[in-house]
């Protein structure tokens, strides 16, 4: 009698475990490979964002320098025209 109960209980227990185990769905090997590829893509894009951010900063500095050169050229033109007048006056005075 006792043996029968134990047998039944064991069978029920084993069946329950197998059912739980069997019903859980897992990612396949291909799925995992796809996930790794996607992670690598994201990592690569992050790196690209970092690189582009640095490039943008560099470009901003270059533009600033170019703007300064332009401003200097404007001032230089004014100064040159003024000095040319003085040179001409000096030549005429001689």
What residue ranges bind another protein (CB under 8 A)? 2-3, 6-7, 9-10, 13-14, 17-18, 21, 24-27, 31-32, 34-35, 38-39, 41-42, 45-46, 48-49, 52-53, 55-56, 59-60, 62-63, 66-67, 69-70, 73-74, 76-77, 79-81, 83-84, 87, 90-91
Q: What is the closest distance, in whole angstroms, from the C-beta atom of residue 18 to another protein in the complex?
A: 7
Q: What is the closest distance, in whole angstroms, from the C-beta atom of residue 11 to another protein in the complex?
A: 9
CA dist list (Å): 68 to 28, 62, 79, 82: 60, 10, 16, 21
Q: What is the closest distance, in whole angstroms, from the C-beta atom of residue 33 to another protein in the complex?
A: 11
- Check the CA dihedral 49-52-58-59 and report its sign: negative
Residue 27: φ, ψ to 5°: -70, 140
Task: Look at residues 18, 36, 15 and name the one whose alpha carbon lies nearest to residue 27.
Answer: 36
CA-CA distance, 8 to 1, in Å (whole number)? Answer: 11
Q: What is the closest distance, in whole angstroms, from the C-beta atom of residue 52 to another protein in the complex?
A: 4
């Amino acid at each position: 009698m006792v043996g029968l109960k134990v047998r039944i209980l064991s069978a029920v227990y084993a069946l329950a475990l197998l059912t739980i185990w069997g019903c859980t769905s897992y990612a396949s090997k291909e799925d995992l490979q796809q996930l790794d590829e996607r992670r690598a893509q994201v990592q690569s894009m992050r790196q690209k964002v970092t690189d582009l951010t640095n490039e943008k900063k560099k470009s901003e500095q270059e533009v600033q320098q170019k703007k300064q050169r332009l401003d200097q050229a404007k001032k230089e033109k004014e100064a040159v025209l003024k000095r040319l007048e003085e040179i001409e006056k000096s030549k005429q005075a001689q």
